[in-house]
Amino acid sequence: MKLLDTLCKNREFDQALTKSRERLYRIAFAWSHHPDVADDLVQETFSKALRQRKQLRDIDSIGPWLFKILMNTWHDYLRCKKETIEYDENLFADEETPESVNSRYETKQHVRQAMQSLPMGQREVLTLVDLEHCSYAEVTEILNIPAGTVMSRLCRARRLLKEILLDNSRQANVLELRRHKL
């Protein structure tokens, strides 16, 4: 009788493994972004699961158990796969260049100028929603205006801000072209 119980449990376990393969692969692929690595991770997960099957007390909890094994397998893979850093690479290069700092500063200035050119009502709604991350309900309470007004002002403000910034960008490109032609 025990042999029959063991065979049934093994069959259930094998079927549960087979059903879980696709889900495990999707997760492994999402983590690794490589189909071959995902296959290897799932294969290793199954191998570990088969070796440790006696640790699983309830076949109904096989999903979380397999995901835990997959996660540990992924972490093992990452530990073994740590990339070495070549000494000839310039490790001390700073991504902060004067050009990048200046570019960010100019962009901020353009956005600030564009924001100042918006009508006050639109500017208020835009800053509360997009910069301060207030909900529409909070904005209606703060400004004492209906929710529909908040939404329409926000829509118009975003549209106008986009137009202003695109127009400024086009003008800057034209000036840059003229400067190069001289």
Note the residue count of the chain.
Answer: 182
The helices-and-strands tally (H runs, E runs) of the chain is 7, 0
Query: In this predicted structure, what is the pLDDT of residue 83?
Result: 59
Task: Find the mean pLDDT for residues 32-60.
Answer: 86
Q: How far apart are CA 59 and CA 8, in angstroms?
A: 12
Q: Are 25 and 42 in contact (CB under 8 A)?
A: yes
Q: Are 74 and 25 in contact (CB under 8 A)?
A: no
Query: In this predicted structure, what is the pLDDT of residue 4?
Result: 45
Over the stretch 59-78, which tens digit does the pLDDT of each residue have? 777 777 888 888 888 888 88
Range of weakest confidence among 40-49, 52-61, 103-112: 52-61
Query: In this predicted structure, what is the pLDDT of residue 94?
Result: 60
In whole angstroms, what separates CA 80 from the centre of its chain? 25
Q: Which pair of structure tokens corresponds to residue 117? A: 């050119």
45: exposed, middle or buried (C-beta count within 10 Å: 0-12, 13-18, 19+)?
A: buried
Over the stretch 81-140, which tens digit does the pLDDT of each residue have? 765 445 555 555 567 788 888 888 888 888 888 888 899 889 889 888 888 888 999 899
Over the stretch 140-158, which tens digit does the pLDDT of each residue have? 988 899 999 999 999 999 9
Highest mean pLDDT among 15-19, 129-133, 161-165: 161-165
> Taking the model in full, what pTM does it have?
0.45
CA dihedral 97, 100, 103, 108 (to 10 degrees): -110
Residue 177, pLDDT > 80, answer no
Residue 3, pLDDT > 60, answer no
> What is the per-residue DSSP string for 47-116?
HHHHHTGGG---GGGHHHHHHHHHHHHHHHHHHHTPPPPPTTS-TT--S--HHHHHHHHHHHHHHHHHHH
Residues 6+ apart with CB under 8 A from 171: none
Residue 22, pLDDT > 50, answer yes
145 three-class SS:
coil
Residues 6+ apart with CB under 8 A from 92: none
